Chain A
Amino acid sequence: MPYLGTRKTEGHMDILSTILELRQTRHPSLPAELVKEIVSIETDFAEDRAEGFKRVNQALERYLNTSAGNDQC
């Protein structure tokens, strides 16, 4: 995962922990890794929305393809 952990601050951790906690309690079927990745992308590209959207789309597709591949295995 290219965007995680390198330059993240305490504040970012707080956003992440909030959303992951929510995921666990209310949306456990959603993949934690994908959620983390989206948070990371949105953090890095807060000022570049077009790029942010593109990368979130890519992350989602990547996950779906991997899952689809896993399903096929």
Chain B
Amino acid sequence: MLKIRSITVSDFGPFKGEQKIELPKEDGVVIVYGENMRGKTTLLNAIRYALFGKVLTRGSGEIQLHQIGNWESAASGKYGFHVVLAFEQNGDAYQLTRECRVRPGIARPMSDVDYIEESFLTKNGSAMGPDEATLELGRIMPETVSRFFLFDGELLQQYEELLRSESDMGRQIKDAIERILGVPVLTNGRADLSQLHQLAQYQEAKAAQRNQKTQQLGNLHAELLGRREAMQQESARLRQDLERLKVNKTAREEQAKKQEQLRALLGQRERLQEEISILEAKIAEREERRKNLLTTAWRSILAPKVTALREQIVGQLRDLREQATRRLVQVETTEAIRRALSNGNCSLCEQPLAEHTKQRLKERLVELGSRAQGTDFDGEIHKLETRISHLRQQKTDNSIAVLREISIAIDDFRVTKTTTEDRLRDLKEQTEGLDESELRRIYGEYEKAVQEIAIVEKGLKAQDDALATINTDIIRIETELVKKGGSDLQKERKRREMSEGLRNLFDEGVKVYRDKLKAKVEKDATELFLQLTSEPDYAGLSINNSYGLTIVHKDGNSIPVRSAGAEHVVALSLMGSLQKNAPLRGPIIMDSPFGRLDSVHTRKVIHTLPSMASQVLLFVYESELEPKLARNELKGGLRSEYRIVRHSARFSSVEKAV
């Protein structure tokens, strides 16, 4: 178990002069508080520098050594820097110093070449030789697994790569995880024993060739082994090609995926343009119909009046005809009375009229006479009949309801058109400057990569088949040799059989151990995750072949996409699980791990940290992790607090909080 005892930096980054952080022997958490740009990440980098001679930027790029020294010291003519890391492992005390100093004769260094870099390691007070030191450090903390101990909270996206196993980064991380879990012990063993087995086969073939009894078999054996070696080399070459092509294909796939979205957008754009054209045609057609209808709509508008008028005139005509009829009756009555008065007899019974009757008839005649004057009924009736006829002839038009419907339809189409035009405008912005030939090129390259992979895979299969055949032949020969060979071949045979047996053992061991590990990593990561998450619907984590972890909902489905906060929690769960299962144990050192977490999750992480590793070192800023919260959650587990104090923009110091 690696445990850091102290970190001493001198003129490193903003840390002018010598600054030291001491970590206690006991298990627990040490927190270093510092505002942004004061040097928290620099301290993480100091540890990285001491162990591996590298200082990384946020984007994982290396910083030149020349840029690392403290500026204020440099301004006063003091160049260079050093870091001392004191640590323990399995009872041994180490002190690792790495320094960068100006080459003699250089007054003012301008680049890395003006510096000499040296490192030395002491173990239990005694200096180790450089090669020995390199080996020792490689055993204690291999660089390839350092990412699981020196954890930069900002670099989370690497863990997404684990879910895409064919990406270069994904494979690197998978290899790193397997390394930290000890898998190379078995895979290297398998590779070494495989090689030893092949060598043993050659030795057996040579021995057989030396003996007359087995010479022919020996020659054949040797020849087959030679051919097999060539095939294996060819297989290895093809496998390398395949790896390269797959990485290339993944990259093209990524490009094509981005283009796929753009291609879909382009398609959508065309469809929208078509939709708009159709709508415009519909609008134009309806507007034309509306114009046609409006040419005669005035009739519809006046129709009620015309109808009412016609009815009115019909009524007038009826009245007038009645009047005319009455008038006719009056005229006939007048005539009858005149005739009666003229001949002195009643026109009905023809009896002579009495005097009083004659008088009454004369009075009646006067009365009727006065009523008969006035109206020219015929004329008036004719006028009214003419008007009615004209009104009946009036052309009809029932277009109002239709006009209304058409107008509503036009408005609807216009609204739809405006919405569609807005969508099209957005799409046009998204697809501005798109070069379609670029799209074709990318798809072309992707297709080509797919075809090349198919060809290589086919070749590899053929090669593997041929290898299987030749291995069968080799086994057959070896079986023959066992029968025919004497005691002089026994040693070679034993060597061959032993190395083969061991190789098979280690081969099986790799599979079994990997499966065991994955199950364990998944179980431990799930346990941690459930402690860290506040979401009650999450059932746990599920692991893929690349050690990528997916969140599993309690309904059994995977959660495909994660927020940065969720990514954080999953990454921490993985780290904790790897710590628990790795043969290598060490501290967890984290820079700004809570930036993307809310207070609930921050509290949970703090609470869980001591169970994840026996030594935890945190570089945080106060608004990310309140000191009070940390103290409450960790209680006795919090061993010490430090603060990075600003003296100037280029000078910070580390002070222990009392």
Contacts and interface: CB of A to CB of B under 8 A. Distances in A.
B499 to A, nearest CB: 6
Given A12-B185, A19-B186, 20 more contacts: A7-B90, A9-B583, A9-B584, A9-B585, A11-B182, A11-B582, A12-B583, A14-B516, A15-B185, A19-B506, A22-B505, A26-B505, A39-B185, A42-B186, A46-B142, A46-B184, A47-B138, A56-B192, A60-B495, A60-B499
Contacts of B502: 30, 34-35, 38, 60
A68 B491 contact: yes
Contacts of B516: 14, 18
A15 B509 CA distance: 9
A47 B139 contact: yes
Contact of B583 (A15, A19, A34, A52): A15
A44 interface: yes
B509 A18 contact: yes
A54 to B, nearest CB: 9
Contacts, number: 108
Nearest to A10: B583
B188 A46 contact: yes
Contact of B513 (A9, A10, A15, A60): A15
Contact of B184 (A34, A38, A42): A42
B508 A22 contact: yes
Contacts of B179: 46
A42 B192 CA distance: 9
A9 B494 CA distance: 33
Interface in A1-58: 7, 9-12, 14-15, 18-19, 22-23, 26-27, 29-30, 34-35, 38-39, 42-44, 46-49, 52-53, 56-57
Contacts of A39: 185, 189
A66 B584 CA distance: 34
Interface residues of B, number: 39
B501 A30 contact: yes
B196 interface: yes
B495 A64 contact: yes
A11 B583 contact: yes
Nearest to B188: A42
B186 to A, nearest CB: 7
B498 interface: yes
Given A27-B501, A34-B502, A35-B502, A9 B1 contact: yes
Given A19-B509, A35-B505, A57 B196 contact: yes
A10 B129 CA distance: 29
B32 interface: no
A11 B183 CA distance: 11
A56 B190 CA distance: 11
B581 interface: yes
B182 A15 contact: yes
26 contacts: A7-B90, A11-B582, A15-B513, A15-B583, A18-B513, A18-B516, A19-B186, A19-B513, A26-B505, A34-B502, A39-B185, A39-B189, A42-B184, A42-B185, A42-B189, A44-B139, A47-B138, A52-B188, A52-B192, A53-B195, A56-B193, A60-B502, A63-B498, A64-B491, A64-B495, A68-B494
